[in-house]
Amino acid sequence: MVFNSLTFIAFFACVLALHSLPLPWTTRKINLLIASYVFYMAWNPPFVILLWISTVVDWYAAQGLVKAQRQRARHAWMLLSVVANLGMLGYFKYGQFLLDNFSALMASLGVVYQPPHADIVLPVGISFYTFATLSYTLDVYLRRAKPARNFLDYALFVTFFPHLVAGPIMRPTELVPQFAQPRRASADQLRFGLALMTLGLFNKVVLADSFLANVAEKIYDVDKIPGALDAWTATLAFSGQIFCDFAGYSTTAIGAAMCLGFAMPDNFRFPYAAVGFSDFWRRWHITLSSWLRDYLYIPLGGNRHGERRTYAALMATMLLGGLWHGANWTFVVWGGLHGLYLAAERVLRTRFRGYRPGPAAFVALGLLTYLLVNLTWVFFRAKTFGKAWSVLGGMLGQHAAAKPILAMFSLISVAAIVAGIVATHWLMRERTLESVVTRTPAVALSVVWALMAFAIVIAQGEGSAFIYFQF
């Protein structure tokens, strides 16, 4: 079930109605748990078994961690959680990838090995809920948090449908305490939640799907060699598409949770106005970057053991972060480029420690950041290195004789939409959506809301899945 479908609208209306009934709080939580399982099973019912396994294993692992008297026993419970979660993730997400690469390695050594095609189906959201449940047991192991008081609250934390399949990646300390007391949205929360859902769906259905996705596909999914204008337009289109698609999902999820009376953290803070790459990762997919920082970068040493160790931890974190996004070496290169950017930024900040850019230089550095981010998007979007080199060659002007591929309308629409996105991010760089809404007249808000809702309806989307569902 996808947010941008009539099925979800009917589903959410039923959930909202049930949650608003004067029922005992435990009954309403059970309703939410059942609804979350229905939401997930709408894709492929058997895969709910994996969700149950992850939930049960981590629940008992956390209980075992609390009761264990010896450090060896605590290690064993922690390893059980890590092996169970990463084992499922490794098999379903990376099984075929590992087989293919092992076969290629054997071939390079002169050994002919053709493993049978495993035909492994990737369960929707497995990367997200395994990270959420892992954070639960790791926090208990590190004594950062105590286990949930009852299984219902923990199970609902894992399966709560707004964040289940594509985040934000929730921590138990952020959501479990909210299940302790009865919650129902106030009138203001309901209005703002519905407005956020409308904004998120507008980003997805109207901007990402109707205007930007087709332009990227015409360059990245065909065999034609693009010229500079086509290559840059398609890459800029994808930069807008992936933001509108993923931020659209997160915004819709946060809005849906708010309509039910729950709060979830921001996942995007206008990232295309970032100045530098550490700033970018404080604004892009915030819950993933903070997860990688807390559970990977810092345990690897962080910045506490000298420069070499810091750079090694930084590169390892970004390479694994790239691999988390997909079982393809192009994602590893994408993560590696961001690792190099962050390392180079760290070197420059150390060398020019006292430098404070003026307004013009500040904006120029922000635009340079956005330009370099777009170069990494080529590897994120391209399915093969051949296509990535082809697009990069076009962007660098190496295909001067290439025939135009994109129509003038596509060029103009992408330029207008992407310029609008970047300008909006700069305008909102130091602001929050809540503060702007508070200061805007109700009539103007109502008009904008109605126009977005109207655009969603006339876009007549096909309910295409969000990009991050594949991760």
- Tokens 């294993």 found at: 57
The overall average pLDDT reported for the chain is: 93
Q: Closest Cα to residue 381, out of 267, 226, 270? A: 226
CB 216, CB 470: distance < 8 Å: no
- Whether 325 is a known active-site residue: answer yes
Buried b (16+ CB within 10 A) or exposed e, 333-357: bbbbbbbbbbbebbeeeeeeeeeee
Q: How many residues does the chain have?
A: 471
Please state, as a whole number, how many other Cβ atoms lie within 10 Å of the Cβ of residue 451: 12
Catalytic residue from among 19, 163, 285, 325: 325
Task: Please report, rounded to a whole number, the percentage of residues in the chain having pLDDT higher than 70.
Answer: 98
Domain parsing of the chain, residue ranges: 6-183, 189-470
Question: pLDDT of 322-364, one tens digit each?
Answer: 999 989 999 999 999 999 999 999 999 989 888 889 999 999 9
Question: pLDDT of 401-417, one tens digit each?
Answer: 889 999 999 999 999 99
Question: pLDDT of 149-169, one tens digit each?
Answer: 899 999 999 999 999 988 899
119: left (phi over 0), alpha (psi -120 to 50) or beta: left
Q: In the structure, what pLDDT confidence band is assigned to residue 209 with cuts at 50, 70 and 90?
A: very high
Question: pLDDT of 411-463, one tens digit each?
Answer: 999 999 999 999 999 999 999 999 999 999 999 999 999 999 999 998 865 56
The residues near 291 (Cβ < 8 Å, ≥ 6 apart) are: 131, 135, 169
Is the C-alpha dihedral spanning 5, 10, 11, 13 positive or negative?
positive
CB 461, CB 209: distance < 8 Å: yes
Buried b (16+ CB within 10 A) or exposed e, 75-111: eebbebbeebbeebbeebbbebbebeeeeeeeeeeee
- What angle (nearest 5°) sits at the alpha carbon of residue 279, between those of residues 205 and 360? 95
Question: pLDDT of 52-87, one tens digit each?
Answer: 999 999 999 999 999 998 999 999 999 999 999 999
Q: What is the pLDDT of residue 463?
A: 60
Q: What is the pLDDT of residue 462?
A: 56
- CB-based burial of residue 462 (10 Å sphere; 0-12 exposed, 13-18 middle, 19+ buried)? exposed
Report the range of poorest mean pLDDT among 91-95, 224-228, 313-317.
91-95
Q: What is the pLDDT of residue 115?
A: 73
